[in-house]
Amino acid sequence: MSYLPYVESFRDLLAYQKAKAMAKEIFQLTKTFPREEAYSLTDQIRRSSRSIGAQIAEAWGKRSYEKHFISKLTDADGEQLETQHWIDTAADCSYLNTEQKSSLLKQCEEIGRLVGGMIAKSDKFCSTTLTSVVREEAEAYFTRNKRDDELTEN
């Protein structure tokens, strides 16, 4: 088994990186869709594909709450399934060729497997030892004692 470096940010997550790359590819491909699809199919597939990475990023921010972490990852998986639907629809309308459809669906499925793995191992992502390393250290702050007019470190 190869060594995997510690993840310090959602940007380090393979699922996030793949979701972001796929969303960019979908954006490029949808530029060729007919103008009359601008506010329907084009908008829908772009929105759902972009939401996958956003939900993964949100999940990362909720690691202190394992159930919320899982909930956000479940939302990410739902968005990738919705993206699969829109890919099928675009192919049915002949806006995507067979090769493009197949490539995008494979990417969605891989992202789904990665997200599913994160859900299955959520305890590893939500460990208090991991979150304490990632979070910044608490800074001391000062308050003014009105009675003595002195600064006190807390």
Q: What is the largest CA-CA distance in the chain?
A: 77
**Tokens 């009359």 — which residue?**
36
Confidence tier at 6 by pLDDT (50, 70, 90): confident
- pLDDT tens-digit readout, 56-106: 999 999 999 999 999 999 999 999 999 999 999 999 999 999 999 999 999
Our CA angle for 74, 80, 85, nearest 5°, is 130
* pLDDT band per the 50, 70, 90 thresholds, residue 1: very low
Other CB atoms within a 10 A radius of the CB of residue 26 amount to 24
Q: Which two tokens stand for residue 128?
A: 């208090």
- Provide the 3-class DSSP secondary structure of residue 150: strand
Domains in the chain, please, with CATH? 10-153 (1.20.1440.60)
Residues 6 or more apart in contact with residue 63 via CB below 8 angstroms: 69, 125, 126, 130, 131
Angle at the Cα of 53 (from 72 to 85), degrees rounded to 5? Answer: 90
Average pLDDT, the chain: 86
Q: For 4, which DSSP code?
A: -
> Taking Cα atoms as reference points, which of 72, 59, 63 lies closest to residue 131?
63
